Structure 1
Amino acid sequence: MGAKKALAVLLGVLTAASTLAAGPPSPATAATTRISSWSTDRGSVEHSSAAGAVFWRGSWATAQQRLNPNVPGWARRGFAGQSVRQVVRLSVGGSHVRIRLSNLYGNTTLRLTGATIARAGAGAAVKRGSQRNLAFGGHAWARIPHGGELDSDRLAMRTSALEKVTVTLYFARRTGPATYHSQAMATSYRATGDHRVDPTGRAFTQTSRSWYYLTRIDVRGAQAQPRNGIVALGDSITDGYSSTLNANRRFPDRLAERLVRNRTPRPVLNAGISANRLLSASPCGGESATARFRRDVVLQPGVHTAIILEGINDIRTQGSTSGCGQGAPHITAQRLINGHRNLIKWAHQRGLKVIGATLLPCSCVDGNEAMRTAVNRWIRSTPPGRGGYDAVADLDRALRNPNRPGTLLPRYDSGDHIHPNDAGYQRMAQAIPLTRL
């Protein structure tokens, strides 16, 4: 090693040591680190070998949203002196794991006292002896500036496809309003005091149906892995609204199961938000799909393909002045088509394949039904060379009532004539063309 190179290495070691000794980074430094890491997330390589590179891949994800001011709950009050336990199911496994926490919509620095990950048991319980402490920059605690996100350190923990894991976060200090995902279709648990390593779950007597701060779990394998992740971007239908609680029967869950049965397991990440719109923000559904596309799709590690199912809320709520539809502008089919074209263009610029899902029947009134039909016609008929999708998942045709095409087939209808039931979500997963993924 030359003298200049040796000096550079020594300076690097001293800089790293002084950073750890100084404690957590300032909010400005942490934000800079986060933004810098975003630019390389898809190609985040752990090491190279003769067999190829080993990448982090997202195995589970949920999209974060701004607090709905009209809905009371844990997110509004935040947490103080409490443990929050959340159970999620991985789509693929690996030899190492890390979690990502988000303070994207917090109004102050989030101070996490500590966190653990474990293999899930029944309810809030975990499998005894499986709890592992998570670290952040070598520390048990973490500080995440408002608007920031943070990955935990790499943890050796072997996981498998479709395995449930439990993440427990402990906040000794008051957090303020929480960044969260409103419609989890899963139970989260809360206990007073520090119960990070409590295996029984008996202290977790309070429950919620949202997820808090936890936005992704990544895995890394021991062997070379392709970038073959799938992200489903959508609204409440992608979010799994009306599916059975705690049963993982959303259509992305069913797609992951189908891939495992086919012996071709691939990461499947759910970026659906209930009440989400393609073109405009919603008080209940967060930022528009076009505004969050980069964060929730393009920058997921290991992503290869996006499945887009967006636009029905733009149609159904247009012109509304109240509730979740507040602020929805009047639109045209062409405006929705232009929004889809933008998503396709942005995906292709980052080398992603993109599949367009036709909008499901919604028992819409005449003008809205005509708009839905026009958008679906464009999705089906426009080839990639003319700005269309690389492939089509015709969910409309798979679930519609042939005798009344503007409505769901009764056996797939949850009862509200908009959202599928468990059988409908299963049918959606079956309608995804695996050969085009």
Structure 2
Amino acid sequence: MRFAKTLAALATAAALITPAVPAQASTAGPRWTGAWSAAVQQPSPGGLPGSSNWSQAGFKRQSVRQVIRVTGAGVAVRIKISNLYGTAPLTVSGATVAKAAAGAAIRPATLRPATFSLRPYTVIPAGQELVSDPIPLPVQALDRLAVTLYFQGATGPATFHDISSATSYRAPGDHRSDPRGTAFTDSSHSWYFLSGVDVLSPAAQGAVVTFGDSVTDGTGSTLDADNRYPDQLAERLVAAGRPLTVLNSGISGNQVLADHPLFGESGLARFQRDVLDRPGVRTVIVMEGINDITYPGPVVTAEQVIAGHRELIRLAHARGIRVVGGTIMPFKGNPWLYPDGTPEPFAQEQVRDQVNTWIRSSGEYDAVADFEQALRSPTDPDRLRPEFNVRDGQEGDRLHPNDAGLNAMAEAIDLSRL
């Protein structure tokens, strides 16, 4: 009875709170702020060579436990479940949230059921997303949560996020309330259906969205270490006592201008959903364009990439959101872009340089995060610094920074400009 009264009170409070708050809006009292996010993609075999995931097969009579880290504190949380790319209604038979322990285990005292319009289950139409009722679980910034979804019937292909740099777990049967990890014998490095976690906070001053491609997504960062550059930016903000949350809206392989079946809708197409519709957004950091410049196909000019960035700036400013431009980092020597025997694509480097010059000098962005300057080699500015290109003693791909390089990106951001 006490839980039901608490849930009803939180639901009443939440109903009075606008889901998305422009940067200049007055915010008296607690409000919902995004504290974790994943930009969703259509089901696919995955974008990395040799990758595999569960998205195309979906789930039936299975529990999926996903461990995430929230970037802000709150008195309650709510989860967002996406059936954006589903072809049929998605029945979620039940869901729980708890603070995570090791692996797939959870801390039993923190286990809370999720409800949807006060019901323990929900049906989400194809092409839509749904937010749960408030869940009375107090959290601190950088707490790790485990969200467990149970699917009794067949889901069909699953809306998902391909490269999570985190482990998700699967178990046969209903293990929503199972505190142990032993039943979760299957694992994957993608996220499924879960697209957001918000906190109800009286203190949060808003959310910073990091928008981009694989470097923002964290491709190549250490598995389960939360070392993506947005994670390390969140740690800086917590250490500085700045109550801003950080949301990761990166998709590996994503382009500003073009859709791709493996790498998501274009940045222009998904900006509304992945930035503007997130609750409490105050600032967005945009770093995208490398894939437009380097992918095979029609040549993309600097003017076209810049036009795409200008449209993102326009959309953000129309909602009162501050926009920080991130320069595109070096990629010289990347084996995917420079196969053996292929000359260095000087024209592509010129386009990248032109876009970066515009980002730095045009004044169209409200501020600049000069990621290229922070990560380029002092002896060859078109290459990644050698110390940011090593993983486990092996040379990297000269495109995706290691954990130290991702930390250098986070350090390159002026917190006062957020």
Instruction: Give the counterpart letter for 1:124 in structure 2.
Output: A
Aligned to 1:390: 366
Q: For residue 130 of structure 1, report the CA deviation from its aligned partner.
A: 1.7
Aligned to 2:198: 218
Q: For residue 318 of structure 1, report the CA deviation from its aligned partner.
A: 3.7
**Is residue 133 of structure 1 aligned with residue 142 of structure 2?**
no
SS in 1 for 2:323: strand
Q: For residue 418 of structure 1, report the CA deviation from its aligned partner.
A: 0.4
Write out aligned runs for 1:227-246 (5 A): 228-246=206-224
CA shift digits 1:306-325 (9 cap, x unpaired): 00000001111141xxxxxx
Q: Which of 263, 269, 284 is residue 291 of structure 1 equivalent to?
A: 269
**Is residue 408 of structure 1 aligned with residue 384 of structure 2?**
yes
**Is residue 264 of structure 1 aligned with residue 233 of structure 2?**
no
Write out aligned runs for 1:18-417 (5 A): 41-43=19-21, 52-68=28-44, 72-221=52-201, 223=202, 225-226=204-205, 228-319=206-297, 329-363=298-332, 365-383=345-363, 388-414=364-390, 415-417=396-398
Distance 1:72 1:259, change over 3 A: closer
CA shift digits 1:198-220 (9 cap, x unpaired): 00110000000000000000001
Instruction: Determine if contact 1:52/1:224 at 8 Å carries over to the other structure.
Output: no
Instruction: Determine if contact 2:256/2:266 at 8 Å carries over to the other structure.
Output: yes
Greater Cα radius of gyration, structure 1 or 2: 1
Q: For residue 412 of structure 1, report the CA deviation from its aligned partner.
A: 1.0
Q: How far apart, CA to CA, are the structure 2 residues paired with 1:432 and 1:381? A: 17
CA shift digits 1:346-385 (9 cap, x unpaired): 10001000000000001062110010000000000001xx
SS in 2 for 1:232: strand
Instruction: Determine if contact 2:214/2:252 at 8 Å carries over to the other structure.
Output: yes
Q: Structure 2: any 5+ residue segments left out of the alignment?
A: 1-14, 333-343, 391-395
Q: For residue 282 of structure 1, report the CA deviation from its aligned partner.
A: 1.4
Q: For residue 183 of structure 1, report the CA deviation from its aligned partner.
A: 0.1
Instruction: Determine if contact 2:210/2:249 at 8 Å carries over to the other structure.
Output: yes
CA shift digits 1:172-222 (9 cap, x unpaired): 00000000000000000000000000001100000000000000000012x
Moved over 6 A (4+): none
Instruction: Determine if contact 2:204/2:244 at 8 Å carries over to the other structure.
Output: no
CA shift digits 1:117-149 (9 cap, x unpaired): 001000000012221111000100000001010
Q: How far apart, CA to CA, are the structure 2 residues paired with 1:63 and 1:41? A: 18
Instruction: Determine if contact 1:59/1:90 at 8 Å carries over to the other structure.
Output: yes
Aligned to 2:6: none
Instruction: Determine if contact 2:165/2:223 at 8 Å carries over to the other structure.
Output: yes
What TM-score do you get using the length of structure 2 for normalisation?
0.88
SS in 1 for 2:43: coil
SS in 2 for 1:67: coil
Q: How far apart, CA to CA, are the structure 2 residues paired with 1:332 and 1:102? A: 34
Instruction: Give the counterpart letter for 1:330 in structure 2.
Output: V
Instruction: Determine if contact 2:207/2:283 at 8 Å carries over to the other structure.
Output: yes
Count of matched residue positions in the alignment of Structure 1 and Structure 2: 380
What TM-score do you get using the length of structure 1 for normalisation?
0.85
Q: For residue 340 of structure 1, report the CA deviation from its aligned partner.
A: 0.5
Q: How far apart, CA to CA, are the structure 2 residues paired with 1:192 and 1:68? A: 23
Q: For residue 72 of structure 1, report the CA deviation from its aligned partner.
A: 4.9
Aligned to 1:34: none
Q: For residue 93 of structure 1, report the CA deviation from its aligned partner.
A: 1.2
Q: How far apart, CA to CA, are the structure 2 residues paired with 1:86 and 1:160? A: 18
SS in 1 for 2:137: strand
Q: Percent identity?
A: 49
Q: How far apart, CA to CA, are the structure 1 residues paired with 2:86 and 2:28? A: 39
Instruction: Give the counterpart letter for 2:273 in structure 1.
Output: R
Q: How far apart, CA to CA, are the structure 1 residues paired with 2:261 and 2:358? A: 29
Provide the alpha-carbon RMSD of the alignment.
Answer: 1.7
CA shift digits 1:15-74 (9 cap, x unpaired): xxxxxxxxxxxxxxxxxxxxxx9x952139xxx9xx923210000001001122576531
Instruction: Give the counterpart letter for 1:165 in structure 2.
Output: L
Q: How far apart, CA to CA, are the structure 2 residues paired with 1:73 and 1:98? A: 26
